[in-house]
Amino acid sequence: MSADLFRELFDDASLFPPASLAMAEAVPGHLRHQAAWYRDTSGPFVCADTRIPELSAAMTAAGVVELDVALVLPGGAAHLDSAVDSVFADPRLRLRAIELPITGSAGTLASVTEVAAALDRTPLAGAAAFIEIPAGQLTADVARAVADRRYLAKVRTGGTTAQAFPDVPTLATCLATLVAERLPFKCTAGLHHAVRHTAADTGFEHHGFLNVLLAVAAALTTERIEGVTAELADSAASQVAAKVSELDADTVFAARELFTSFGTCSTDEPIADLVTLGLISADHGG
């Protein structure tokens, strides 16, 4: 199995629901992940633009000299300039990514064009820029509009309500479209565990991050949506793990070029799942 399979797969979104950690807990927790045996799997610290001053204060309290940050703007592109300025104002912060939702006031394609235009006007200093598009609205035309501007897509795979989780056919079609257009993307919310499951506390049907990985791999090798759908729907953990372990290096590279990462409010949970499934171990690192 390729060592790159899980590299920087887990963006630390511990500030966000359902974990909703206080900043004073989230920053030390992120430092723990960055120093752990699985550190290669740990991506940037995800922070909303409104909390950057709080993040800077927590870094000072914890003696942090530098931190990679993925900047989320829930309020949209109207706050882009000031948000980026707030990150650049603290030399300890390294802007790795910017994540912006489309607006609901116009059609999807028009909204993507609007957000992309705002990003075009803003110096990003090499940071990746993700445009969040609902899975059910991510058509080929929309994907091309994002790709043509050299931005990336963000897909919400869950949330705090059942309606926030796209069903298997919707997500399968979305992933197949992203792969067909060769548009890199990240996922956010809901991927708490490696394999598809029903959450005991809420009853919500959660997609698994390994299922997403296998679905992307399937879409790379076939145009048949049934194969992509089947990978997303598979809830047999041992079977999913076996298929992941059998991915060759070329497939891993191609799949991870597209599925760049996902935001997780708990890095501990996906790491524990991967250990349990025998896909990583402390003996060999991430």
Question: How many domains does the structure of the chain reveal?
Answer: 1
Q: What is the pLDDT of residue 151?
A: 98
Q: Which residues pair with 206 in a beta bridge?
A: 197
Q: Is residue 285 part of a domain?
A: no
Are 82 and 112 spatial neighbours (Cβ–Cβ below 8 Å)? no
Are 152 and 186 spatial neighbours (Cβ–Cβ below 8 Å)? yes
Q: What is the pLDDT of residue 254?
A: 97
Percent of the chain with pLDDT over 70: 98
Distance CA 144, CA 28 (A): 39
Per-residue pLDDT band for 270 (boundaries 50, 70, 90) equals very high
Q: Is residue 1 part of a domain?
A: no
Q: Which residue has the tokens 């991915």?
A: 247
Are β-strands 152-156 and 259-264 bridged in parallel, bridged antiparallel, or unpaired? unpaired
Q: Is residue 5 part of a domain?
A: no
Distance CA 162, CA 98 (A): 27
Here the contacts of 78-84 (C-beta below 8 Å, separation 24 or greater) are: 79/49, 80/118, 80/119, 80/122, 81/122, 82/49, 83/49, 83/52, 84/122, 84/123, 84/124
Q: Which residue has the tokens 């950690």?
A: 21
Q: Average pLDDT in the 84-97 region? A: 97
For residue 28, CA distances in Å to 35, 153, 209, 269, 281 come to 11, 29, 25, 17, 23
Q: Is residue 283 part of a domain?
A: no
Per-residue pLDDT band for 103 (boundaries 50, 70, 90) equals confident
Distance CA 173, CA 139 (A): 9
Q: Is residue 281 part of a domain?
A: no
Q: What is the pLDDT of residue 192?
A: 85
Provide the 3-class DSSP secondary structure of residue 134.
Answer: coil
Q: Is residue 148 part of a domain?
A: yes
Sorted by sequence, the CB contacts under 8 Å of residue 184 that are 6+ apart come out as 152, 153, 178, 257, 258, 259, 260
Whether the ω angle into residue 28 lies within 30 degrees of 0, i.e. cis, is: no
Per-residue pLDDT band for 95 (boundaries 50, 70, 90) equals very high
Per-residue pLDDT band for 106 (boundaries 50, 70, 90) equals confident
Sorted by sequence, the CB contacts under 8 Å of residue 82 that are 6+ apart come out as 49
Query: Tens digits of per-residue pLDDT, 161-192?
Result: 999 999 999 999 999 999 999 999 999 999 98
Per-residue pLDDT band for 12 (boundaries 50, 70, 90) equals very high
CATH of residue 219's domain is 3.20.20.70
Query: Tens digits of per-residue pLDDT, 194-208?
Result: 999 999 889 999 999
Q: What is the pLDDT of residue 5?
A: 96
Per-residue pLDDT band for 2 (boundaries 50, 70, 90) equals low
Here the contacts of 31-36 (C-beta below 8 Å, separation 24 or greater) are: 31/62, 31/64, 33/267
Q: What is the pLDDT of residue 115?
A: 96
Q: What angle do CA 206, 38, 98 make, to 5 degrees?
A: 65
Q: What is the pLDDT of residue 1?
A: 61
Q: Is residue 3 part of a domain?
A: no
Residue 222 has pLDDT above 90, yes or no: no
Residue 285 has pLDDT above 90, yes or no: no
Are β-strands 128-132 and 93-101 bridged in parallel, bridged antiparallel, or unpaired? parallel
Q: Which domain holds residue 203?
A: 10-276
Q: What is the pLDDT of residue 214?
A: 98
Percent of the chain that is helix, strand, coil (3-state, to 5): 45, 20, 35
